[in-house]
Amino acid sequence: MNPLTAKSIPALARYSRYSLVEISLEEAEKSASVFTKLYPDAARAAGEHADKMRAAGVEVSPLAGLPVSIKDLIDIAGETTLAGSTVLRGTAPAKSDAPVVKRLRIAGAAIVGKTNMTEFAYSGVGLNPHYGTPANPADKTLARIPGGSSSGAAVSVATGLCVAAIGSDTGGSIRIPAALCGIVGFKPTARRVPTAGTVPLSPTLDTICAMTRSVDDCILVDSIIADTPPSIPDLPLAGVRLAVPQTVTLDGLDPHVAAAFSAALSSLSSAGAKIVDVPFGLLAEAADLNKFSGPESFAWHRGLLARHEAEYDFRVARRIKMGESMSAADYIDMHRKRRDWITRMEEALGPFDSLIMPTVPMVAPPIAELEGSEDAFFKANSLLLRNPSTINLLDGCAVSLPCHAEGTLPVGLMVAGPAMSDRKILAVARAIEHTLQAR
């Protein structure tokens, strides 16, 4: 059995870090479309160094020497950052590691490689025609989408290739694949983690985040990339007020998702949580306000599109070009309306400890179904982004954690709150995780 499939990082304490890196690299070589680049020498060196320090009695970071993956829109020194594309081939390599990579290296992490992704992070589905689409490991009989845009990142954790993956989230790109692949994904308040050294999608909404196999592991990795203390106080679930929005977020749920979410709510209520159904009509405004990605991505891509549009994934190019038509006045007005919406949302959230909802309303559809039909692709993409993107618009934070029964297709439960409530949301998510695992 691969020890990297353990439930949490502390369970790996007895293993040689070098041996875990070797397992990661060996399995990564056999895993189709998960990685676009491997760094075996540097990863082995990090594992060996961690083992020597531990043998000498030196206290090291819990992440020291453990395999971690990096999404291919984050700079690693000496490498051209491709962001899941081919159009950036031949451009200058990164002069230095992105700040998040530097922080991981300081913590001793063994960075084993860069992970595949939706081209330029522009979809929640995870298809990539250039480097292939990694299959969702939750179904061994049918190739299903992994979710996106952090597709390879999620699969690298779900299959035990890494203990953690660093990705990005602009409208759900961490939480969507975490939900579909049955792992934990945390979108922090965007300003807490530097986005320097990354290929942007929407600077207004972009967030750098972590995926792991447990909430505690997410707390650890987030503390490293955000450069904050890792301690989160325990929060008893009894008495915690959880708001279940009735507007938009529960519409059109797949029956399996609806059943898993309902069962989770019952378990949380039995544990003493106060489940409150709330209209939250403000959520109906989100779709019209959340249109930053189009104009902001077009501003970055317009030169590349003029020269290389034929080399783009046509689905990505189509969405980026939609941003060309927005006027400067409309763009400025959208920012003003967003600020007003955030103020009203934060006031509505005041009586509650967190929002709680299905991360996405569906289980992972088959890859072939979405590759073969534009209509199916864009319909699925819209549904996948619907719930998580509201938290990006809110400038908030959110955790997606598994809530499905073992042996069934993964379903994510999202715990969310306003900006800078990260510690509280993580504490609530951990309490919910413990309750659901005890079922």
Q: 382 by DSSP, 3-state: which?
A: helix
Task: Please tell me which residue in 33, 123, 149, 400 is annotated as part of the active site.
Answer: 149
Is 71 part of the annotated catalytic residue set? yes
Query: Residue 266: is the preceding peptide bond cis (ω within 30°)?
Result: no
Other beta carbons within 10 Å of 369: 14
Indicate the helix (H) or strand (E) that contains 276: strand 274-278
Q: Compute the distance between CA of residue 155 and CA of residue 137 in angstroms, rounded to an integer.
A: 7
Is 149 part of the annotated catalytic residue set? yes
**Residue 364 carries which side chain, given as an amino acid letter?**
A
Is 85 part of the annotated catalytic residue set? no
Q: 232 by DSSP, 3-state: which?
A: coil
Other beta carbons within 10 Å of 27: 19
Q: 357 by DSSP, 3-state: which?
A: strand
Positive or negative torsion for Cα 34, 36, 41, 42: negative
Q: Compute the distance between CA of residue 414 and CA of residue 250 in angstroms, rounded to an integer.
A: 12
Positive or negative torsion for Cα 205, 211, 216, 221: negative
Q: Compute the distance between CA of residue 188 and CA of residue 208 in angstroms, rounded to an integer.
A: 8
Residues with active-site annotation: 71, 149, 173
